[in-house]
Homo-oligomer: A and B are copies of this chain.
């Protein structure tokens, strides 16, 4: 009885081959190769030399089965082809690869896929841990994830059950809106995230809250007609602004909850023959690569750190000496004033 021959793959050296070559047992090879204690330096050297000669690499599947660890982690994102998520994934991958982990990227564009991921994550034993980025998880999905026992970290939102890395989204909405209000704007439109998602995804809501609070402080009433969803896309931003400009009393400033929606907004405004910021100010969130080029005022978040910090938290959890308690890290944000925001029409510049 022999193993099925994976036709394409040539024979590789096994731990037994190395053991024979080095004149020791397989167990010693295993210990020597993994820098475990209790191996004589001379033995270790001999084993390593033999391994080198035979081009030996431990078969990850065999070690995984035997050791119960995969040295792989999953990064789950709603989609990968947006600026924000690709930055987060990139930053996480860099840290994880450095620490010797394989990175499985899982996109969950539909609720069904998201659920499938949550259900399988724990049961499947494919990974040692998961980083969950901005997934609108239902309470029972969070429960399932917790019960499955997979070590996990969330990025972008907080569950209370996993370590997390977030920004203060209420503050983001507040700071941005206040900037606009400070410039004399009294009609401030808001382009929020997706409205049709049945699940509670907290980021847009939190920013919305900040927006409304800022308005209230100024004694301004929130106007539902000035709150439109832009679905976090360029196109969505464009459409949202178009409908706002059609209002009898259109906004003189617009806050988009992402830079990409803000780009769409700028385009729509200019397409009407209006100027930014003379006629309408536009403010985004993120500090996208192109925000500077587009001269877009925005609230910067340290996107790469959303990924790298999550990765580090997870590694700590996986390799933790048992010592550290779960951390909730909050990353700072910063208003970056550029040329897309200016005094409200009819206001003297400050």
* Chain A residues close to B by CB (< 8 Å): 3-6, 8-10, 12, 55, 57, 59-62, 64-70, 72, 79-83, 85-87, 89-91, 93-94, 97, 102-107, 109, 113, 120, 122-126, 147-151, 234, 238, 260, 263-264, 266-267, 289-290, 293
Contact = CB atoms under 8 A, between A and B. Distances in A.
Given A8-B150, A62-B65, 18 more contacts: A3-B66, A9-B122, A10-B148, A57-B124, A61-B65, A72-B104, A81-B89, A81-B91, A82-B86, A86-B89, A93-B105, A94-B109, A102-B126, A234-B289, A238-B293, A263-B290, A263-B293, A264-B293
A66 B64 CA distance: 12
A65 B67 contact: no
Nearest to A103: B105
B105 A68 contact: no
Given A120-B57, A149-B10, A150-B8, A107 B93 contact: yes
Copy number in the complex reads: 2
Interface centre among A61, A85, A289, by most B CB within 10 Å? Answer: A61
Nearest to A127: B102
Nearest to A88: B81
Nearest first, the 5 closest Cβ-Cβ pairs linking A and B are A86-B86, A81-B90, A61-B64, A6-B68, A80-B90
A264 B292 CA distance: 10
A12 B147 CA distance: 12
Nearest to A264: B293
Given A8-B151, A267-B293, A123 B55 contact: yes
A82 B6 CA distance: 36
B79 A125 contact: no
22 contacts: A4-B67, A9-B125, A9-B149, A10-B147, A10-B148, A57-B120, A57-B123, A59-B125, A60-B125, A61-B70, A61-B126, A62-B65, A79-B90, A80-B93, A81-B87, A81-B89, A83-B83, A93-B106, A97-B113, A105-B105, A263-B290, A266-B293
